[in-house]
Amino acid sequence: MTTPATNAPIMRDDQAGSRGSGGTEGGDAVRRVVLVLAKAPVPGQAKTRLSPPATPEGAAGVAAAALLDTLDAAAATPGARVVVALEGSVRDAVRADEIDVALAPHTVVAQRGDSLGERIAAAHDVVAGRFPDAVSVQVGMDTPQLDAGLLDEALGHVEAGAQAALGLALDGGWWALALREPGRAGIISGVPTSTDDTGRLTLEALHAALGRDAVADLPPLSDVDTADDAVRVSELVPHGRFARAVGDLLPVPGGVRP
């Protein structure tokens, strides 16, 4: 696991909250948070499993499009503040200027921790500390087909009384975790990641800590890990940045439909 970079841009709280925040500025007024775990799309470091067939620059371009589409969905979630836990430096990223603009309304913090589980828990601790009255939903940048409706649904589960809601990914992982109390994300910090059992083990950890009836199910989605995944997902959202990037940068025979 790559050690998180410490030169990720850190937004002041007075720069955050103008888009998708319901106009709230103070942390005590925030009731909903969309937490995005993201990696700066730097060539050779982002979406490396797309290369080949894509070049390292092309793979990073696909990753940049996925991040931008994900940020759009997060920003459109009703009443939600967006927090981005970022690994790496946007300065070195593909589409750096666009990403800077997309990040500007939001709270951006550097990822901290060695394992992915530790970084997930640390990011949720930031949310719990800054917005103590908020529920949260965490996503990555591997599901650019998500939309504000799915994020709203996830937050709705924990607002309605569930302690957590988990969206499993078709590859065996998970794509979304909503928590009524974001500070309890440490429950899953020890679950092995990037395995065929990660989703199942995460669900079991939540059931053991919170109770089976306290964990709601979210619709399963496909992660984008391989070129085939990218083509399939792009066909679900044919008019977004992600589909355009796949069509332009990922040379897959018979790829994206017009």
Q: Render pLDDT for 56-100 as a digit per residue (tens, 0 to 9).
A: 999 999 999 999 999 999 999 999 999 999 999 999 999 999 999
For residues 96 and 8, the model is more confident at 96
| Alpha-carbon separation of residue 130 from 27, 125, 143 (angstroms) | 6, 9, 26
State the Cα torsion 81-140-116-2 to the nearest 10°: -110
The per-residue pLDDT for 10 is 37
**Mean pLDDT of all residues belonging to the chain:** 88
Q: What is the mean pLDDT of residues 146-155?
A: 98
All structural domains of the chain: 13-249 (3.90.550.10)
- How would you classify the pairing of strands 81-87 and 107-110? parallel
Q: What is the predicted pLDDT for the residue at 26?
A: 47
Q: How confident is the model at residue 202 (pLDDT cuts 50, 70, 90)?
A: very high
Both tokens of 139, joined, read 């996503």
Structure token digits, residue 134: 């908020």
Calculate mean pLDDT across residues 155-172: 97
| pLDDT for res 193 | 87
253: pLDDT strictly greater than 60: no
1 confidence band (pLDDT: 50, 70, 90): very low
Q: What is the pLDDT of residue 194?
A: 83
pLDDT at residue 16 greater than cutoff 50: no
Q: How many CA atoms lie within 13 A of 242 on its CB side?
A: 27
Do the bridges between strand 32-39 and strand 215-221 make them parallel or antiparallel, or are there none, so unpaired? unpaired
Q: DSSP letters along 107-174, please?
A: EEEE---SSHHHHHHHHHHHHHHH-TT-EEEEE-SS-TT--HHHHHHHHHHHHTT-SEEEEEETTSSE
Q: What is the pLDDT of residues 130-145, one digit of tens each?
A: 999 999 999 999 999 9
